[in-house]
Amino acid sequence: MLNALGQVVREQALTNAAEQTLPTRGLPTGVYTLRVARAGQLLTRKVVLE
């Protein structure tokens, strides 16, 4: 997960589970970018913490 400046603020390895959880406790409110890379594919989504 990247902050608005493009700095990595959270990083976590994926497991084989169908659902993943990334803790956001301690992060300030704001807009973040979630990037997930798996099997040669990259998924990018905007995340808003309120």
pTM: 0.85
Name every residue whose Cβ is closer than 8 Å to that of residue 44 and which is 6 or more positions away in sequence: 33, 34, 35, 36
Give the whole-angstrom CA distance, residue 25 versus residue 20. Answer: 16
Torsion sign, CA atoms 16, 29, 2, 10? negative
Contact 10, 30 (CB under 8 A): no
pLDDT of res. 49: 97
Arithmetic mean of pLDDT, 5-21:
94
pLDDT of res. 1: 97
Q: State yes or no: pLDDT of 39 exceeds 90.
A: no
Q: Structural domain boundaries of the chain? A: 1-7+27-50
